[in-house]
Amino acid sequence: MGERIRLALVGIGKIARDQHLPAIAADAGFELAAAVSRNGRVEGVPNFTDIAALIESGLPVDAVSLCTPPVGRHRIAAQALAAGKHVMLEKPPGATLTEVHQLQVQARGAGRSLFATWHSRHGAGVAGAAAWLADKQIRRVDIVWHEDIRVWHPGQEWILAAGGLGVFDPGINMLSILTAILPGPLRLAGARLIFPTGRDAPIAASLEMIHDETAPVIADLDFHATGTPRWDIVIEADRGTLLLKDGGARLWIDGAEQVGDAIGEYPALYRRFAQLVAAGESDCDLRPMTLVADAFLLGERTETDPFAF
């Protein structure tokens, strides 16, 4: 491998265009070597419609970054690892926990890096929140995670299909932040999931969790909330109150806004991926996805009106 990681971007949709392509272009550690997508194209690089075609072409590529929906990601990642590529996964890292466990084993066996990304963990307020909470006793956590599916995921039918996660597609971002900033373990104790008639993924949910077996953690998730989105986490601790807003981007402690020095979520992800590849390591924290799986295992289900994009 040369100095720059030759990267293929797979699944040229909304997040690939909005975030991955600009972050890759701005990072001197990467060279965009190819794009893989059935319909999408990236100008200026070789384009392929399938990962197998990329591999068969013999084009020199060191790593792939997958931006496809979670269902089907395992097949692509497994083929890439088998061909000796390092693999970076958009969140959630797969459609099932087992398939991600298998990728971890495969990556270890192949001596390649596997990076399950959680972009929200790189929001400007998240590191400061974790540092402040590290020596606090948590009393209570209240979360509101409301956004409009039609604005943030226009026409993405896959997101309300089985394996698309529905409201947990944004909700898992919240869980990725919580599991990164709370000092103790988090356990799901109850859930209520609301499915639109005829859909296999929930459009709203409420979660009851417990932090360190002492503090209630209550989350209200709504994927059908019009108007200004709200991605807020309020944490009452023994020595103060923390407010994390805008999905981790802004932090207040006892009413005073704190200034973070983050470089941006996706630039931070690519910087971390380069570090992992250089160190020969993987980073695959499955706690956020395990909590989502627990909600599907334990949650009471109700139906609501049909949903159309």
Q: Which residues bind ligand NAP (CB under 6 A)?
A: 11-16, 37-40, 67-70, 72, 90-91, 119, 152-153, 156, 158, 169
Contact 193, 299 (CB under 8 A): yes
- Report strand pairing: 300-304 vs 186-196: parallel
Given the residues 85, 91, 136, 245, the one annotated as active site: 91
Q: Which residue is nearest to ligand NAP (CB)?
A: 13
Using the minimum distance from each CB to ligand NAP, give the nearer residue, 118 or 132: 118
Query: Could you tell me the smallest distance in angstroms from the CB atom of residue 277 to ligand NAP?
Result: 21
Query: Could you tell me the smallest distance in angstroms from the CB atom of residue 201 to ligand NAP?
Result: 12
Using the minimum distance from each CB to ligand NAP, give the nearer residue, 39 or 197: 39
Using the minimum distance from each CB to ligand NAP, give the nearer residue, 152 or 252: 152
Cα(43)–Cα(287) distance, integer angstroms = 37
Using the minimum distance from each CB to ligand NAP, give the nearer residue, 136 or 271: 271
Give CA separation, 44 vs 31, 33, 41, 68, 199, in Å.
Answer: 12, 9, 9, 21, 39
Query: Could you tell me the smallest distance in angstroms from the CB atom of residue 57 to ligand NAP?
Result: 17
Query: Could you tell me the smallest distance in angstroms from the CB atom of residue 224 to ligand NAP?
Result: 16
91 carries an active-site annotation: yes
Query: Could you tell me the smallest distance in angstroms from the CB atom of residue 32 to ligand NAP?
Result: 16
Q: What is the SS3 string spanning the chain?
A: CCCCEEEEEECCCHHHHHHHHHHHHCCCCEEEEEEECCCCCCCCCCEECCHHHHHHHCCCCCEEEECCCCCCHHHHHHHHHHCCCEEEECCCCCCCHHHHHHHHHHHHHHCCCEEECCHHHHCCCHHHHHHHHCCCCEEEEEEEEECEHHHHCCCCHHHHCCCCCCCHHHHHHHHHHHHHHCCCCEEEEEEEEEEECCCCCCCEEEEEEEECCCEEEEEEEECECCCCCEEEEEEEECCEEEEEEHHHCEEEECCEEECCCCCCHHHHHHHHHHHHHHHCCCECCCHHHHHHHHHHHHCEEEEECCCCC
Using the minimum distance from each CB to ligand NAP, give the nearer residue, 75 or 301: 75
Using the minimum distance from each CB to ligand NAP, give the nearer residue, 89 or 277: 89
Cα(36)–Cα(172) distance, integer angstroms = 26
Catalytic sites, residue numbers: 91
